[in-house]
Every structure is written in structure tokens, then in C-alpha cells.
Amino acid sequence: MARRTDETDSFTSVVRGPGPVLSATQPGSSRSPQGARRGDKPGHGDGTYPPGATPSRNDPAATERFGWGAANVDPGYTTSVEPLRPTAPEVVLLRTRPHARRLTLSVLVLFATVTAFGYFGGRFPEEWQNWTALAVACALVFFVTLLPFLAWLGHRYTVTTRRIIARRGILVRQRQDVYLARVTDVRLRRTPLQAAFASGDVRVVAGPDLTLVLRDVPSARLVADLLGDLTEHPTPPSHLPLQ
């Protein structure tokens, strides 16, 4: 550590502020590092920098000395993001399920089971036979009537101004979205039985590996026409009512 050699230098360094810090072994050094106030960095505040030091653009003294203006100061990174273009809200045009004709067998089984159990229930000579008849009736109602009805409720198709949404499943739900901008072809296929009930299968082709089939939808011709118009026009046709 360099020792203090001149009391005048120490007093001057305190009055005038911290000057450049010079090493004790550097030639021509007449000031001691002890003369600077503790915590001050060399070269800040007076525009004087030690040899080999690089001035900073954030230093006001360096800005004034070297003529750096506010336009030359690095503004740093920016976080501004351009807002997205406003888009039209998505409107639901159609909500439908497969034709309720598929529940005909379930309803017939329900009527037959209730009628048979009401007639034979409790008339067997053994008690275990009566309990067995009740268990069989409950199983038929649960597996043949209740489960198909819940599956029919969980199978739903939704058509909006942007996409087609197909949902299915009871416990494990499955969902498939097809955007109208990707649809290339809409086809309608009907069997004689479906034609009698004005239903059918609408096939929506959205690429070589993506085909969505709306199975046994009621008013299949209207649904196919709606999807065809939505594919050709970016907005819903005015002659089709919104639902």
C-alpha cells in the first residue's frame, strides 16, 4: 500500500473531489488512492478516466465531454408488441346430434322390460327367483336403455362461422375441431332408411389425412348446404338463420 507523502494533496483531494486513481508504482503518480473517498469509482463525475479505462455512455460527465447526445444513447431492448387485427366474433350457427331414431330399440326394450317385470315380478315361488328377475330387469334398463341414451346425449356437433366441432363420449370425452378455411370438399351420403327420415352422413374433407363425418344428422341436406356456403364465403350467408 502506498503511503501518504503530501498532506496538501490529501486535503485537495477531499475538497475538489475524487480524482483519477493512480497506482503507487505507476510513473508520475503523485496522488494516493487513500485520498479518494471510499466507495467512489475512478473516472465518474469528473470526466477523467485512468489509462486503459473505457468511458461509458451512461456517465453524464462522459456524455458532456465526448459530445454524445441523447440520440446516440443506446435505447436498449423494447417490449412493444403490435396489436392484433380485430376479428369478427365467432357465432354458433348450428347445434345438432345424431338422429334420435337410433334410440328406438332402447325405448322398445324399456317398455318390454317394465311390462314383463310388472306382470311376472313377485309371482315366482322362490324368493331368490324374484330377486333374480329384478336384477335382470335392472341390467336390461341400464345397459340397453340408459347407456345408449347417455351416449346419444354426449354425441354433439356444433357448426360456427370458423370451425366444425365434434364431441363424443361419456366418461372419456373426445373432441375434434376442423376449421372451415381448411375444408376442401363436403359430401352427403344417405341410405334408403336415412332418406326416409331426412337424415344422412355428411363427410367433410379437410385434407388428405383429415376427414370428419357427421353421422346420421337430421336435415342432412340443409347441413351439407350450410357447410358448402360457409366454405365458399368467409362470412355466414344472410339467408341462413343463426341458431
User: Where are the domains positioned within the chain?
Assistant: 95-154, 178-235
**10, 95, 158, 197 from 31: Cα distances, Å:** 8, 88, 84, 105
Q: Checking DSSP bridges between strand 199-205 and strand 185-189, what pairing results, if any?
A: antiparallel
In the predicted structure, residue 39 carries a pLDDT above the cut 90: no
Q: How many CB atoms lie within 10 A of CB 180?
A: 19
pLDDT in the model for residue 58 = 60
* pLDDT given at position 110: 96
Q: How confident is the model at residue 120 (pLDDT cuts 50, 70, 90)?
A: confident
Q: What is the mean pLDDT of residues 12-29?
A: 46
Closest CA to 241 of 91, 129, 115: 91
Using the 8-state DSSP alphabet, how is residue 100 labeled? G
Element housing 159 (H / E): strand 156-160
Residues 173-191, mean pLDDT to the nearest whole number: 93
131-150 pLDDT, tens digit each = 999 999 999 999 999 999 99
pLDDT band at 109 (very low <50, low <70, confident <90, very high): very high
Higher pLDDT, 84 or 135: 135
Q: Which residue in 120, 99, 107 sits closest to 219, CA to CA?
A: 99
Of 25, 26, 34, 27, give the one whose Cα is nearest residue 7: 34
Range name among 56-65, 170-179, 211-220 with the lowest pLDDT average? 56-65
| 12 vs 36: CA distance, rounded Å | 10
The confidence score (pLDDT) of residue 3 equals: 46
**What pLDDT does residue 59 have?**
61
Lowest mean pLDDT across 92-106, 114-128, 134-148, 183-197 = 114-128
> What pLDDT shows up at residue 139?
96
What are the two backbone dihedrals, phi and then psi, of residue 7, each rounded to the nearest 5 degrees? -70, -30
Q: For residues 204 and 186, is the Cβ–Cβ distance under 8 A?
A: yes
